[in-house]
Amino acid sequence: MSNIIQIRNKGTLTLPIELRRKYNLAKGDVLTLIDLGDGAFMLTSRQTQVNRLGDQVAETLKQADLSLEDMLSVLDEERERYYQERYAQS
């Protein structure tokens, strides 16, 4: 199955309604565009693992009412503790 779509103002593309319904796509959904080279692209509705994990971290921080700075501070503390336990000279 192939569809012809047109690039519109500001690079906007409109996916045919049949595909949006088939893959349950809605306004605001994020798609991944992969450049295959030689002018070929692949568009996938599957979220990358990195994006999915990033979304999970963001949601966890939000639920815990923590900022990114809070998380980075705790990571620094844990990194230091790990180093001290494993590599510090007694």
Sequence ranges of the domains in the chain: 9-44, 49-87
> Residue 46 has which token pair?
């599957």
In DSSP terms, 35 is beta-bridged to 41
Helix (H) or strand (E) holding 35: strand 32-37
Cα 80 to Cα 7: distance, rounded to the nearest angstrom:
51
Q: Is the pLDDT of residue 70 over 70?
A: yes
Q: What is the pTM of this model?
A: 0.46
In DSSP terms, 37 is beta-bridged to 40
Q: Is the pLDDT of residue 3 over 90?
A: no
In DSSP terms, 40 is beta-bridged to 37
The pLDDT value given to residue 77 = 94
Q: How many other CB atoms are found less than 10 A from the CB of residue 43?
A: 12
pLDDT interval class at 88 (50, 70, 90) = confident
In DSSP terms, 42 is beta-bridged to 34
The pLDDT value given to residue 90 = 60
